[in-house]
Structure 1
Amino acid sequence: MKTRKLMTLTGALAVSALALTACGETEAGQQQSEAPAAEEGGTDWTNCTPGQDSAEADVAADENKNITIGAYNGWDESFAVAYLTENVLEDEGYTVNVEAFEAGPGYTALAQGDIDFAMDTWLPITHADYLNQYGDDIEAAGCWYDNAKLTLAVNEDSPAQSIADLPDMVDDYGGTIYGIEAGAGLTQQTEESAIPTYGLDDYDFKISSTPAMLAELKSATDADENVLVTLWRPHWAYDAFPVRDLEDPEGAMGDAELIYSFARSGFSEENPEVFQLVKNFVFDDEHLASLENIMFSDEHYGGEDPEEAVAEWVEDNQDFVDDWKAGALA
């Protein structure tokens, strides 16, 4: 089982860069638009506080000890939270399998009961179509993150505080914005919204790849030089490098979304304590970025051993796990 899980994640990482070019299939590839209003009598997915239904979870009490967790290819946080949950449940005597899917087939598997839960639904925009299609056959298990967004980011000691400062600071940043893949929603949002909104036409927007952007970010921060990149949250770069987001007073990069967990229909009755554990989950930027950094950056495990990476993180963050079980993260 361990070998199967490792192969699953390795395959996911192999397609991750490719998925960036498919708008809507990765966090960097999402399309930003105005959030749809909730239908009459429907759920307002913007109305959620992470961990709002928290309570103590006695996960050892559930009789069913075999759990399958879905994770979505191209979405690092999906594998981070899946393997973290696996670690906690296996410590309580469960047998856990993490299965990788493209987002569409993943929702199909969830609705058909082939997996027990997945913890990476972006709402109210990115995954709304999947909820419209499968919402009657899956159970909401709360939101755990409320800052999923596209950004323009700079080195921590950079002079600019806002995107609005950039037109007067072209020379400070070498006249360059370092971007990612041409087909990514982040690239489109920067090109079609941020640049015209803030008058950034004097900058050379270098559209390349995520690894190339990260290499520029690392090179500049190592050399204590100013740098301007397109980025998104959640991402491990916020833990690996001294980087911060620029304020976006015009909202040109789009609003932040929430990340929800969903379970197969009936899971809350069959595994009420594990379902409660999932509802208890809350990740802030600092904890999430640090876990992703250990799991995915070349300086650590580089995606090669997710279980060992998570075990290392848990060893340094046992208080987080204890609070999670106790429902005290919110």
Structure 2
Amino acid sequence: MTTRLTTRLTTSLSKRTGVRRGVRTVGGVLAAGALTLTIGACGAKNSNDQVEGGGGSSVTDQFADCTPGDGSADVSQMETDGNKSLTLAAFNGWDESFAASHLLKYVLEKEGYSVDIQELDAGPGYTGLSQGDIDVAVDTWLPVTHESYLKQFGDKIEAQGCWYDNAKLTLAVNDDSPAKSISDLKDMGDDYGKRLVGIEPSAGLTEQTKKAIPIYGLDDWNFQISSTPAMLAELKKATNAGDDIAVTLWRPHWAYDAFPVRDLEDPEGAMGDAENIFNFSRTGFDDDNPYVAQLLHNLVINDDNLASLENIMFSDDHYGGKNKDKAVAEWAEAHPDFITDWKAGTLGGK
């Protein structure tokens, strides 16, 4: 695909659906132009993007629950596909989208495939998928964040299994700090300087945190709204110095591998429920590429593997978002059992 296709998809999206503009970050670098989240009754999400609309619907009810790796099978006895030229969509501003896409590319190119990864906003990505210009997108968040895309394009795209079931908003602290739950913070303000370090003001995570603050009696805390790079810099500085810190964060994120950090329990459910991440393909993909379709159903990336992969790809201490193929190759070579288990269809039990 070419730049002309990207332009056509973007133009098509602007004509067909209204969006709300927002910001998202890639590897800690602010990326303008991502589509911001609508916070729905089913639970707010991070600074991810979503088309206007939301709420429960029959279109996405079927995706509210998933078992990563469901439908897995050993591909060792399968022939690879006759069609070995594939185009994947990776969504701008979504680190896990690039991590999973380049990981799939790495494995397929070892099998003789030619894989082109197009970097697109989510809307143009779904448009291309529905029109058959894109074969696979590996980063559909359901049942809330991408619900409206499913309403618009659901009859023209096909699910290929889910690979992650813990996508959520969090408040996090350094691992050796005293608080275990968000409810602990009210009586432990002195340990954290009564300061909560946030990200961009337009992020869905920021808006949801504002709603959680009064629920947990943290109105006298200083909610420091800044940017993702600034939050990560503060987190790095505090953990290096052995100081206690509380930040807004979300899963999946490479910070969980780069820093000694853990989530606080959320007994009131104020930060929203976890979502699932699905693979979707163009229609007819199962018939054209049964081998790759089975690999997609086999794919499961747990928190530890995803955080370590994203850390190598996006943190400034490693590749900083550059040379993504080289970063994935380095990670894969250090995790050979992951690739073996993926092909054997046994990642779901890991």
**Above 0.5 in TM-score?**
yes
Q: 2-side partners of 1:42 and 1:242: how far apart? A: 36
Counterpart residue number, 1:200: 218
- Which of residues 37, 60, 73 is equivalent to 1:24? 37
1:283/1:15 CA distance change after superposition, 3 Å: closer
CA distance in structure 1 between the partners assigned to 2:185 and 2:330 by the alignment: 40
1:289 to 288, 302, 307: 307
Aligned residue in 2 for 1:5? none
Q: Tell me the distance in 1 between the aligned counterparts of 2:216 and 2:304.
A: 29
Flag structure 1 segments of 5+ consecutive residues without an equivalent. 2-11
Pick one of 139, 151, 155 that aligns with 1:120. Answer: 139
CA distance in 2, matches of 1:151, 1:214: 14
Instruction: Calculate the TM-score normalised by the size of structure 2.
Output: 0.86
3-state SS of paired residue (2:31): helix
Determine the C-alpha separation between the residues in 2 that align with 1:52 and 1:19.
36
CA distances 1:154-189 after superposition (whole Å, capped 9, x unpaired): 000110000000111111001100000000000000
- Corresponding residue number in structure 2 for 1:219: 237
Q: Secondary structure at the match of 1:17?
A: strand
* 1:65 and 2:84 are equivalent in the alignment: yes
Contact 2:60 2:147 in 1 (8 A): no
Q: Could you report, residue by residue, the CA deviation over 1:269-322 in whole angstroms, capped at 9, with x for unpaired residues?
A: 000010000111001000000000000000000011001100000001111001
Identity %: 60
Taking the aligned partners of 1:299 and 1:20, their CA distance within structure 2 comes to 26
Q: 1:42 to 1:15 in 2, by over 3 A?
A: closer
Task: Name which of 93, 101, 108 aligns with 1:74.
Answer: 93
Q: Which SS does the other structure have where 1:324 is aligned?
A: helix
Runs (5+) with no aligned partner, structure 2: 2-24, 39-44
Q: Shift of the alpha carbon at 1:37?
A: 3.9
Change (3 A) 1:253 1:89: same
| Offset of residue 18 of structure 1 | 3.2
- Alpha-carbon RMSD: 2.2
- Secondary structure of residue in 2 paired with 1:182: coil
Does the residue aligned with 2:291 lie in a helix, a strand or coil? Answer: helix
1:132-173 deviations in whole A, cap 9, x for unaligned? 000000010011000000000000011000000011111100
Tell me the residue number matched to 1:151.
170
CA distance in 2, matches of 1:255, 1:50: 17
1:68-217 equivalences in 2 (<5 Å): 68-191=87-210, 193-217=211-235
Equivalent of residue 268 in structure 1, options 286, 291, 298: 286
Aligned amino acid, residue 231 of structure 1: L
Deviations 1:205-255 (A, max 9, x none): 000000000000000000011000000000000000000000000000000
Q: Distance in 2 between matches of 1:263 and 1:57?
A: 19
Is the 1:20–1:28 Cα contact (8 Å) retained in structure 2?
no
| Equivalent pair of 2:89/2:136 in contact (CA under 8 Å) | yes
C-alpha distance in structure 2 between counterparts of 1:321 and 1:305, whole Å: 20
- Read off the aligned partner of 1:23 and give its amino acid letter: T
> Using the alignment, how far apart are the partners of 2:297 and 2:34 within structure 1?
32
Structure 1's 14 and 30: CA in aligned 2 closer, same or farther, altered over 3 A?
closer
- Per the TM alignment, residue 23 of structure 1 is displaced from its structure 2 partner at its CA by 2.1
**Displacement after TM superposition at 1:28 (Å):** 2.7
CA contact (8 A) 1:15 1:73 kept: no
1:241-256 to structure 2, matched below 5 A, reads 241-256=259-274
Alignment check: 8 A CA contact 2:130 2:153 kept: yes
Moved over 6 A (4+): none
How far the C-alpha of 1:22 sits from its partner, in A, is: 4.6
Name the count of aligned residue pairs. Answer: 316
- Contact kept, 8 Å, 1:20 with 1:183, in 2: the verdict is no
**Contact conserved, 2:106 with 2:328, CA < 8 A, in 1?**
yes
Q: Do the aligned residues in 2 keep the contact of 1:180 with 1:210 (CA within 8 Å)?
A: yes
Q: Counterparts of 2:203 and 2:48 in 1: how far apart (Å)?
A: 7
Change (3 A) 1:48 1:95: same
1:16–1:74 Cα contact (<8 Å) kept = no
> SS of 1:282's equivalent?
coil
The equivalent position to 1:231 in structure 2, one of 249, 273, 285, is 249
Q: Secondary structure at the match of 1:229?
A: strand
Decide whether aligned partners of structure 1 residues 170 and 129 sit closer, same or farther in structure 2, where only a CA change above 3 A counts.
Answer: same
